[in-house]
Amino acid sequence: MALKDLLVCIDPTTAGDTRLKLAFNLARANKAHLSGAYALPEAEAARRGPTGFGGFPGMSGLADETSPGGAVSEVFHEAEVADRAEHRFKDELRIAGIDGEWHVVSDGDPSKLIELAKSVDLTIIGQRPPSSRMDGAARFRPNDVVMAVGRPVLVVPYAGTFKTVGKRSLVAWDGTREANRALNDALPLLADAQAVTVMFVGANEQDLEQHWPALERIVGHLQRHGVNATAEETMRGGLAISDILLSRAADLVADLIVMGGYHHSQLREALIGGVSRELLEHMTVPVLMSH
């Protein structure tokens, strides 16, 4: 299925600019409808109600303008930034010939973003920075969206520049329902890839032997879809799987990692760790995740 309906969550930061540039590139390439969800501080979002705003690259500079101190001045400043961002977003939609719409969401409550994400082909959201309010970044946790929407979510690192995704991809595959779902959801992004590596990380030699036939079958499935895919497997040893994936992605000069999200409960992952959580914390390239 082609990507015809995209949603991007942005904020007035450099990372928000990067995310929106990527979203526009994907929308142009797929002739897709693009919805924007602009994250406002809770107080301002509540004051504004359900009306929409927009933004586009360059809006991070809007947030740097100074205004008189005090909570009231800050609220009005946020509103001014959002209003000007809206005009930029609409201008870019018109110039690019892309259909789109805009929504305002509270940066402290993911419920509206989740509802929007349930009715699109792909949601593009940012990695949560070390400080949840770093440089005005939204406080959404990608895992909340991944777990709730039943649709693929593309998480973009808060550092780096990413103009496109899927040219060289690494697929983390272990045969689970979540991994197969993510692989299927990623097909539109993999269709024109130069190279796709499907990688299984096993605990021991027996594990590798047991999973190899299924790994070959899934690679064959991709090849029948016209995807230039190859199979690869490695033993985990004493390393974290997330570290192995990120290291291999660097070796392959990959611009996308595809993986199933949260095979275990979020509580278990929070208590004892997990591949999904660790990858989202340390990611260096965009990650497409499905649950």
Instruction: List pLDDT tens digits, range 202-234.
Output: 999 999 999 999 999 999 999 999 999 999 999
Q: How confident is the model at residue 271 (pLDDT cuts 50, 70, 90)?
A: very low
Q: What is the pLDDT of residues 37-87, one digit of tens each?
A: 998 876 554 455 444 333 344 455 554 444 444 555 555 678 888 888 888
| Domain endpoint, select from 156, 177, 199 | 156
Asked if 67 and 77 count as a contact pair (C-beta separation under 8 A), the reply is yes
Q: Tell whether 15 and 140 lie within a shared domain.
A: yes
Helix (H, G, I), strand (E, B) or coil at 123: strand
Residues of the domain holding 38: 5-156
pTM for the structure as a whole: 0.85
Claim to verify: residue 266 and residue 240 sit in the same structural domain: yes
Paired residues of 200 in beta bridges: 233
- Both tokens of 98, joined, read 């892309």
**Residue 289, φ and ψ in degrees, nearest 5:** -130, 135
Task: Assess contact for 205 and 235: CB atoms under 8 A.
Answer: yes
Q: Could you tell me if residue 162 is inside a domain?
A: no
> What type of residue is 90?
K
Query: Does a structural domain hold residue 111?
Result: yes
CATH number at residue 191: 3.40.50.620
Q: Into how many domains does the chain fold?
A: 2
Distance of CA 188 to the CA centre of its chain: 15
Domain identity same for 104 and 54: yes
Q: Last residue of some domain: 101, 132, 156?
A: 156
Residue 120 and residue 6 in contact, taking contact as beta carbons nearer than 8 Å: yes
Q: Are residues 240 and 270 in the same domain?
A: yes
